[in-house]
Amino acid sequence: MKTRFETFAGLSVAIITPFKNGQVDYNTLQEQVEFQVVAGSTAIVPVGTTGESPTLSFEEHERVLHAVVEAARGKIKVIAGSGANSTQEALHLTQFAKKVGADAALVVTPYYNKPTQEGIFQHYKLLAESVDIPICIYNIPGRCARNIEPETIIQLAQFPNIGMVKESTGSMDQTSSILANTDLTVLSGDDSLTLPLMSLGAKGVVSVVGNIIPKDIIALCNAFAEGKIEQAQEWHYKTYALCRNMLSLSTNPIPIKAAMKMLERDTGELRLPMTPLSETEEQKLRKTLENYGIL
């Protein structure tokens, strides 16, 4: 079935924000962008959950976003993380995303202050009416203490530039309700649920493991889109073990940064309150990467 903004179908990668000696490492950031360009990913998503946006200053958030857009321009789409629990801050960041040339904005549910469904609706309504850029609703109640109920998302679909939902509730029923009642493009927000959600009508994934195995996730998405169901299932079960074993070790992005350090693509450095894996967890991660065949 046809949905909005299907140019964002396939693999979008929630890229990390690399740090070196406490500062953003812009050279490595540019390398991360180029890595996804070469892999053939549809889009990159900077300064989201995986990009440790809660620990970036406002100035750093903008500078990282600008640097990514410049590195990606003409090569790969950029979906800018621009959410906040203050509507005015989210508006500022979304306006900035449009100003520097991002292709879309990923706007997470307002967190911590636990708005009502009406408050959530008004939050996205103001953004949609104020900024002429495609908006992807990012619904992740496990981090935000609020689910955006399907009825609220259906109501928000009246705004033409609200075209996508990053679905991280883990609920097949929620996804089904959205797809049955709107033409919004749903993207999985959980790597292990990409194929199940695509079977319902989702068009791809905003991926964490895509930082290290983008071609495999692209192969999964393409196989399903081309009707090669058994091939898609094979990719699902191959990548599932990596997604499960790696991402269950600790809170994202701790495991993916540790994996990228092992693969010599990042320092693995985090900012407090994020802390590194324990020695035991590192051994489990190394074994997982070895079993997958990338280490």
Residue 198 identity: M
| Domains located in the chain, CATH noted | 6-228 (3.20.20.70)
Q: What mean pLDDT value characterizes the chain?
A: 97
Active site residues: 138, 166
CB 61 within 8 A of CB 47: yes
What percent of the chain clears pLDDT 70, i.e. is strictly above it?
A: 100
User: Of 257, 185, 237, nearest to 4 (Cα)?
Assistant: 185
CB 126 within 8 A of CB 90: no
Q: What is the pLDDT of residue 254?
A: 98
pTM of this prediction?
0.97
DSSP, res 145: S
CB 189 within 8 A of CB 209: no
Q: How confident is the model at residue 28 (pLDDT cuts 50, 70, 90)?
A: very high
What separation in angstroms does the CA of 272 have from each of 45, 52, 67, 255, 282?
Answer: 22, 10, 23, 15, 19
**pLDDT, tens digit, 9 for 90 and up, residues 68-126:** 999 999 999 999 999 999 999 999 999 999 999 999 999 999 999 999 999 999 999 99
CA distance 264 to 245: 20
**pLDDT, tens digit, 9 for 90 and up, residues 255-288:** 999 999 999 999 999 999 999 999 999 999 999 9
CA distance 146 to 144: 5
Q: How confident is the model at residue 140 (pLDDT cuts 50, 70, 90)?
A: very high
**pLDDT, tens digit, 9 for 90 and up, residues 233-254:** 999 999 998 999 888 999 999 9
Contacts of 47 (CB under 8 A, 6+ apart): 17, 53, 56, 61, 64, 65, 80, 81, 82
**pLDDT, tens digit, 9 for 90 and up, residues 154-195:** 999 999 999 999 999 999 999 999 999 999 999 999 999 999
CA distance 49 to 60: 15
Q: How confident is the model at residue 12 (pLDDT cuts 50, 70, 90)?
A: very high
Q: What is the pLDDT of residue 246?
A: 87
Q: Which whole number is the average pLDDT over 191-207?
A: 98
Q: Which whole number is the average pLDDT over 42-46?
A: 98
Q: What is the pLDDT of residue 1?
A: 81
Q: Which whole number is the average pLDDT over 208-215?
A: 98
